[in-house]
Amino acid sequence: MIVTVFCSGGIRKGAEDERKICWTENERKSLQEAARPLDVYYFNPDDPVRELNDATVLFGRDMYQVKFADFVVVDARQRRGIGIGVEMLAARLLGSGLIIVAPPNSHYRQDQLTFRGGTAVQYIHPHIVGLADAIVRDFAEAGTVIRDHVVRRKKPKGQDTVFDAITAYSTKLLPSDTTTLKVVGKRHRTPRNLFD
């Protein structure tokens, strides 16, 4: 069976990115071997393209590949940029599976993290937890998860996961979130009705 994977992660854009960790044949091979007997084909966003000056077309290319991919696998071994976050959300909106490779004690996944006036234990970035179908340690584990999802015919999270998170926040945290309530109270209207 053929499975398509979009390789989300950093792209080296110049000399300053020499140390950036990116997808290579090693990561693709590790994922492929663990996913056997599936036959994995990759969409690689840093493949050469003819037109680099049309930002809309380049964005459309990434979104087309995310939409067509069975799975988006994010290389989150290092801190990433805006494009990867957009690809993650697009996976939810477009119906692709989303697997995040975030090793323990890397930027997005830490045993303990002190921030925002407190300490979180077994911290994983909230956007990753909210959007991902699976968070794994390495690319071999990503391949195993893909194989298991296909064998079990497990559907990826959908758009509802975003709205469910908003509802959870509104119910659990908003009543005590004074800074947000102050801004909401100034508007005296519900979100999105400014332009209605």
DSSP annotation of 176 reads: G
- For each of the chain's 196 residues, which pLDDT tens digit applies? 999 999 998 776 666 767 778 888 999 999 999 999 999 999 998 877 787 888 899 999 999 999 999 999 999 999 999 999 999 999 999 999 999 999 999 999 999 888 888 888 999 999 999 999 999 999 999 999 999 999 999 999 999 999 999 999 999 999 999 999 888 887 665 666 655 5
Q: Is the dihedral of CA 65, 26, 107, 123 positive or negative?
A: positive
DSSP annotation of 106 reads: B
One-letter amino acid at 180 equals: T
Domain ranges of the chain: 2-158
pLDDT value, residue 136: 98
pLDDT value, residue 59: 94
pLDDT value, residue 190: 62
Residues 170 and 190 sit within 8 Å (Cβ to Cβ):
no
Q: How many angstroms separate the CA atoms of 196 and 174, rounded?
A: 24
pLDDT value, residue 170: 93
Closest CA to 143 of 26, 22, 36: 36
Residues 136 and 100 sit within 8 Å (Cβ to Cβ):
yes
Topology given in CATH for the domain delimited by 2-158: Rossmann fold (3.40.50)
Q: How many angstroms separate the CA atoms of 82 and 84, rounded?
A: 6
- What interhelical angle do 55-68 and 82-94 show, nearest 10? 50
- This prediction's pTM: 0.89
